[in-house]
Structures are given as structure tokens and as C-alpha cells.
Amino acid sequence: MTFPASQIALLINGQLEGDASSVVSSFGKIEEAQPGQLTFLANPKYEDFLYTTKASVVIINTTYELKQPVSTTLIRVTDAYSAFATLLSKYQEIIQQQLTGIQEPSYISKTAVYGQNVFVGAFAYLGENVKIGDNTKIYPNVYLGNHVSIGENTVIHAGVKIYHDCKIGSNVILHAGTVIGSDGFGFAPQADGSLQKVPQIGNVIVEDNVEIGANATIDRATIGSTIIKSGAKLDNLIQIAHNVEVGHSTVIAAQAGISGSTKIGNGVMIGGQAGIAGHLHICDGSKINAQAGLGKSLKTPGVAVTGSPAYEYNQAIRSQAIARNLPEMEKRIKELEVLVKQLLAEKTT
């Protein structure tokens, strides 16, 4: 597939500078791109490559001022990074639209229903009363339990397992190996010291425009639903426990763990390897730094915390600064002690 610069500029609402007929057929990094490729410049660290790149078309910000002539065609936009992401998304859509039909061998229940332009890869399993919307792609070795529903334009990558009764929205991406709807971790201690399993009879609801990385696990609710709300983005290797709610447009980095029944607000940012205790409430816009251990609710919107146990970010930075100066402070205190002893000695003589 080839695209002229004029068509690309129209797609991202950009302003052309140079040859509008320049054609590209693939993407490349600005320092490595070859003729026929498209790239972008958003980070000033790479601006020197703008004058040496062999790319046919480069997307740059409207505010960027050239320091010398360039040989490539430029497309100026408000945000080069976002514009490039838009192009990659469109390119991926075109590729995925070419995937349609049912590959064999696969198992599809007679009661399962699916829309138009659906793709089901080999060795997939679709249980009783499964519902799949238009243009959704189910890659090989996916398991969809009974009564699972999936919206339109959703991509379920290879090896994903979605247990019974779970609901996946439209424009969702689930990456390889992710498990949706496994049992929540619930056991009742008995008088004899044994642990009785508490049946997990709820489900998981993943709303529209959510992306969940590879090998993540989202546990089903004990009763009710574990909910990942629209626009949330979850990285690889994340554990979401039973009855958790993740708010709209919240982002969670890899290896984070959220304990049961915690409610996370909208627009929250959670760093990698952070751990959050159960039954907490995390206010909108909160920021939880990587490897933080959060044991209490965050009740003030927009607060940032770090450390384990986690506490307010600015206080933590000041504490760290003081800790670094402790050896010097100890030395000065000892010097002051010596001076005080000398003064006391002089006073008594």
C-alpha cells in the first residue's frame, strides 16, 4: 500500500511543505528511515536527524523552526507524536480489515452469533450463546466461555481466555495471554484451620476503548462485577482482583497489583510494580509512583504519592534530600557538641 503526502496531510489535518506527490509505503525511525518511508520528529533530542534523514515524508510540529534547508517533504501539525499515532492506527485498521472468515479447525457453538467481517482464527473456542459484534478479530487459540459478549471493532489476540458471562465492549484490544474472568481470590478460614473457597459468581465488564496488555489477569467479582471503565489502558502483567473498579482513562503500568474491592477514579496514573491494598478509594487524577505500596485511600484529587508505605510525593522528595545529607548533619552536630563542651568548660573556670 502506498500513500501520497497530500493524502496523509489531509488525514491528519496537516500543512504540507515540499513535494505533495511524495509517496510512502512504510514507516521508519527518523535516524534510520529510507526513501519511501514516513517518520516524525517530536523529541528535540533527535532534531539533528531532520537534516540528514532519507525519509520521504516527515511529520513535525507547527512551532518548529528550521535551522537549515531540508530535502524531505514536511507535514506540519499541532502535535507530531499524536498525528503519527493516528496514522499508525489507521494503517493497522487497514491491515486488520483484510482478516475475515472462520479458520479451521475451530469450535463455534450452534448458539453463538457473530456480525459481519468477523475473523475467527484456528483453534479458537466459542461457547454457548457467545455474541461477537461486527469487524471484531478473534485470533488463534482464544477461548470464549459461555455467554461471553464482545462488541464491534475489538481485537482479541492469540491465547486470550475470557471466562463465562464476561462482557467486552467495542474498540477494545486484549493482548496475548490475558485472562479475563478467572476466580477472585476468596477463601473463608474455618475453625479447623482449613480454607473454604468462596464461590465467585460475578463477572468482568470491560467497557469501550480499553486496551489491556499481554498476560494480564482480571478476576471476576464475588458478586456483581469487576469493571474496567472506558478509555482505561493497562500494561502487561497486571493483576486486577475481584470487584475492583478502574476509572475512565486511567493508566496502569506493568506488574502493578490492585487488591479486591478497591475503587480507582478517573484519569489516575499508576506506576510499574505499584501495590494497592484492598477496599481503598483512589481519587480522580491521583498519581501513584512506581513500586509504591499504598495502604490507605487517597481522598484528595490529583495527589501524588511515592514510597512504601506510600506518602505525599513532595514530602517524600524532601525526606530523601534530608536523608542524603544525614552524614554531613551528623558531622556538624558532633562539631557543635565539642564546641558546646568547650564553652561550658570555659564558663566554669
Give pLDDT tens digits for 68-126: 999 999 999 999 999 999 998 888 877 777 789 999 999 999 999 999 999 999 999 99
The reply to whether 157 belongs to the active site is no
Domain stops at, among 59, 74, 97: 97
Whether 141 and 284 share a structural domain: yes
DSSP string, 260-296: TT-EE-TT-EE-TT-EE-TT-EE-TT-EE-TT-EE-S
Which residues constitute the domain of residue 332? 315-348
Asked whether 232 and 247 are in contact (CB, 8 A), the reply is: yes
Same domain, 137 and 65: no
The pTM score is: 0.81
List pLDDT tens digits, range 49-75. 999 999 999 999 999 999 999 999 999
Q: How far apart are CA 325 and CA 332, in angstroms?
A: 11
What confidence score (pLDDT) does residue 311 get? 65
Regarding whether 248 and 124 lie in a shared domain, the answer is yes
Cβ neighbourhood burial of 53 (10 Å; 0-12, 13-18, 19+): buried
In angstroms, rounded to a whole number, what is the distance separating the alpha carbons of residues 223 and 310?
A: 30
Q: Is the pLDDT of residue 153 over 80?
A: yes
Regarding whether 186 and 109 lie in a shared domain, the answer is yes
Say how far apart CA 81 and CA 315 lie, in whole Å. Answer: 34
DSSP-derived secondary structure for 54-73: --SEEEEETT---SS--SSE
Q: In the predicted model, what is the mean pLDDT of the chain? A: 94
| Integer Rg of the chain from CA | 28
> What is residue 107's predicted lDDT score, i.e. its pLDDT?
97
Q: Which of 32, 67, 97 is the last residue of a domain?
A: 97
pLDDT by residue (tens digit) across 288-321?
999 999 999 999 999 999 988 876 778 777 887 7
Report the alpha-carbon distance of residue 287 to residue 295 in Å, rounded.
Answer: 14
Ramachandran sector of residue 232 (left: φ over 0; alpha: ψ -120 to 50; beta: rest): beta
How remote is the C-alpha of 118 from its chain's centroid?
A: 25
pLDDT at 221: 98
- Of the candidates 157, 164, 175, 242, the residue annotated as catalytic is 242
Q: What is the CATH number of the domain that holds 75?
A: 3.40.1390.10
151 phi, psi to nearest 5 deg: -80, -160
| Same-domain status, 182 and 61 | no
60 and 126, same domain (yes or no): no
The domain total for the chain is: 3
Q: Are residues 130 and 153 both part of a single domain?
A: yes
Query: Is there a single domain that holds both residue 295 and residue 164?
Result: yes
| Same domain flag for 77 and 209 | no
Q: Are 69 and 7 in a shared domain?
A: yes
Please spell the DSSP secondary structure of 8-57, one letter per residue.
Answer: HHHHTT-EEES-TT-EE-EE--TTT--TTEEEE---GGGGGGGGT---SE
How many C-alpha atoms does 264 have within 13 Å on its Cβ side?
36
Residue 263 dihedral angles phi and psi, to the nearest 5°? -110, 115
* Cα–Cα distance list, 245 to 30, 184, 191, 207, 262 (Å): 40, 14, 33, 11, 7
Q: H or E segment at 171?
A: none
* Residue at a domain's end among 47, 82, 97: 97
Give me the CATH number covering residue 124: 2.160.10.10
Residues 343, 301 share a domain: no
**In a shared domain, residues 249 and 147:** yes
